[in-house]
Amino acid sequence: MVKSPLTLKNLTWKPRFGQFRLGPISLEIPDGKFIALLGPNGVGKSSLLRLLSGILRPSSGKIDLFGKDYGMWKSRERGKLVAFLSQESENPFGFQLVKYIGLGRFPHLGSFRRMAVEDRKIVDSEIDAWGLGEFRMRSISNLSGGEFQRARLARALAQQPKILLFDEPANHLDLQSRVRILSRLKEEAKKGKCILAAIHDVNDAMLYADEVWLLDNGRILDSGSPSRVLQSSRLADIYDIELTRFFSADGRMMLGMPPASDLAQHYM
């Protein structure tokens, strides 16, 4: 019997200080799905991703990675299975882009930590896929914000994990970059990868995600298809704003902002 990539069993987490509490959460995360974590700031999306990446330890409950307790995996073996792209800024000063993306191959390298021909092909493939060929020998420090984010995504995908965890991968990027990133994540899910990404835009979830986990106050309120979970009345309770429901030209349900005059009256 094939085990689910990730299984959460009564998972909870609390920081050392403050009243926030995440969970309890009991869910199975399937492969071949793009799952969007949605909810206001501060509800636990980043904390959940950090738990699933192994950066944080649960206060109680457990996480199983392919049927085996997360803590039982050696870090290098876990690195072959799970990649995490956080929101936190990086400063890989002096790294050439090709070497930076090559860091994604580290869990797969032998004892001498030298890349083989196949490793280099994987790195080159990601450089080309993200349109970064002209920056190949450029220092990471000299890239724009959007270029650097593409390099970070290329590094994570060069790792070739089974599970990809992303914390707002397209945040603060232009429309073209956002579409490019979300489309690639959708493609990776279709190839059988498990994709879990925190995003802000409900319409991005509608267009690209296979499932949505809706969070509020540290709890998962609902999980399922975007069209079922992302009802305007439910989102109004969470975000304190009434979104307008409409349908795109191809018949997909979308959610839009109310007129500016209505917003002004709402917040007066």
Say whether both 110 and 201 belong to one domain. no
pTM of the model: 0.89
In this prediction, residue 259 carries a pLDDT of 59
Give the angle subtended at the CA of 229 by the CAs of 27 and 174, to the nearest 5°. Answer: 100
Q: Phi-psi category of 131—alpha, beta or left, where left has phi over 0 and alpha has psi -120 to 50?
A: left
Q: Residue 110, Cβ neighbours under 10 Å: how many?
A: 8
pLDDT at 94: 75
Structural domain that includes position 148: 93-159
Give pLDDT, residue 36: 96
Residue 86 lies in a domain: no
Does residue 88 lie within any of the structural domains?
no
70 and 180 share a domain? yes
- Report the distance separating Cα 130 and Cα 124, nearest Å: 10
Rounded to whole angstroms, the Cα distance separating 163 from 177 reads 22
Note whether residue 242 is domain-resident. Answer: yes
pLDDT at residue number 2: 53
The enclosing domain of 200 has a CATH number of: 3.40.50.300
**190 in the same domain as 67:** yes
Q: Quick one: 166 and 35 in the same domain?
A: yes
Same domain as 252, residue 179: no
Tokens, residue 158: 């060069």
Compute the distance between CA of residue 189 and CA of residue 139 in angstroms, rounded to an integer: 31
Structure tokens at 216: 């509020």
Q: For residue 196, give Cα distances in angstroms to 34, 44, 82, 213.
A: 6, 14, 11, 10
Encode the chain (268 residues) as per-residue pLDDT tens digits. Answer: 456 899 999 999 999 888 899 999 999 888 899 999 999 999 999 999 999 999 999 999 999 999 999 889 988 899 899 999 998 766 666 789 999 999 999 988 876 678 889 999 999 999 999 999 999 999 988 888 888 889 999 999 999 999 999 999 887 778 888 888 999 999 999 999 999 999 988 889 988 999 999 999 999 999 999 989 988 888 888 888 777 777 777 777 777 766 554 544 544 5
Report the alpha-carbon distance of residue 110 to residue 104 in Å, rounded.
14
Strand partners, 254: 246
Cα 18 from chain centroid (whole Å) = 26
68 and 170 within one domain: yes
Predicted pLDDT of residue 111: 67
Residue 207 lies in a domain: yes
238 in a domain, yes or no? yes
Residues 102 and 172 occupy one common structural domain: no
Q: Where are the beta strands (DSSP E) in the chain?
A: 6-13, 22-29, 33-38, 60-65, 68-69, 82-85, 163-167, 194-198, 211-216, 219-224, 244-247, 253-256
Does residue 20 belong to any structural domain of this protein?
Answer: yes
Rg value, the chain, Cα: 20
Residue 87 counted as domain residue: no
Q: Which of 159, 188, 216 is the last residue of a domain?
A: 159
Using an 8 Å Cβ cutoff, are 11 and 56 in contact? Answer: no
- Residue 134 burial by Cβ neighbours in a 10 Å radius (0-12, 13-18, 19+): exposed
Helical residues (DSSP H) of 130-170, grouped into ranges: 145-158
Shared domain check, 202 and 69? yes
Residues 1 and 54 in one domain: yes
Do residues 62 and 2 both lie within one domain?
A: yes
Coil, strand or helix at 227? helix
- Considering the domain architecture, whether residues 42 and 114 belong to the same structural domain is answered as no
Q: Compute the distance between CA of residue 49 and CA of residue 56 in angstroms, rounded to an integer.
A: 9
The number of folded domains in the chain is 3
Instruction: Specify if 249 maps to a domain.
Output: yes
